[in-house]
Amino acid sequence: MSQTFEDKALYRIRGTGGGWAFSPRDFLDLGGRPTVDSGLHRLEKRGEIRRVIRGIYDYPRFSKLLDQSLSPDIDQVARALARKFRWRIQPTGATALNFLGLSTQVPARAVYLSDGPDRVYQIGNTALAFEHTALKESGIELKESGLIVQALKSLGQERITPEIIAKIRAWLPESSRAKVLADTKTATGWVYSAIQQITQEDVHG
């Protein structure tokens, strides 16, 4: 029996484990635009996915503790918009620090540098802002790598303490550590040195 678009899309969406944000562009390999648009609309009506803003959906993470779906993942929404419009983006240092839990401030604004136009989207209580700039080609592929590099640069070499290393290490899943280390080889010397400490098997001290 042939699978419907909804079957194929749900298989892909559920495989992300929750929190993934996406646009119709992410499914154009499964069907034409009208098929994708109507299929995602039906999945939303069934409660399988959630509409975040116009043209962007997510697969909500569910909190058993709170017994409710969590707010959209701002970084995932930013990356879904970047894929949709074919922008390259980088989180600013302050935004990266917050995502990594290194800043205690609750930001009302998440800011990304982008090679696209200046744009602001309201996602719940957070303003997601893209600021146009000439992005340097960093060669960094993984979102985890980008967040870590931007956070470290924002802190500065003199503020990289064992506590900071430990916090980032706790945030970074063990399964991603080798990939991040390989992905950041082109980073500035002291930044890469810090990442080596973050990703090594045993951190003493």
Residues 6 or more apart whose Cβ sits within 8 Å of residue 36: 5, 9, 24, 27, 28, 30
Average pLDDT over residues 124-131: 94
CATH of 5-69, one of 1.10.3470, 1.10.10, 2.40.50, 3.40.30: 1.10.10
Higher-confidence residue of 114 and 17: namely 114
Q: Is the pLDDT of residue 1 over 60?
A: no
Beta strand 68-69 with 109-114 is unpaired
Q: Where are the domains of the chain?
A: 5-69
Q: Is the pLDDT of residue 106 over 80?
A: no
User: DSSP labels for 170-192?
Assistant: HHS-HHHHHHHHHHTTTS-HHHH
Average pLDDT over residues 170-189: 93
What is the tens place of the pLDDT at every residue in 47-73? 999 999 999 999 998 888 888 888 999
Average pLDDT over residues 11-40: 95
* Cα separation, 12 vs 178, whole angstroms: 25
- Tell me, what's the pLDDT at 203? 47
Give the residue ranges of DSSP H helices in 100-200: 143-155, 162-171, 174-183, 189-199
On the 0-12 / 13-18 / 19+ scale of CB atoms within 10 A, 115 is middle
What is the tens place of the pLDDT at every residue in 76-100? 999 999 999 999 998 999 999 998 9
6: phi then psi, degrees, rounded to nearest 5: -60, -40
What is the tens place of the pLDDT at every residue in 145-161? 999 999 999 999 999 99
* Cα separation, 62 vs 18, whole angstroms: 8
Higher-confidence residue of 132 and 205: namely 132
Helix (H, G, I), strand (E, B) or coil at 128: strand
Model pTM?
0.85
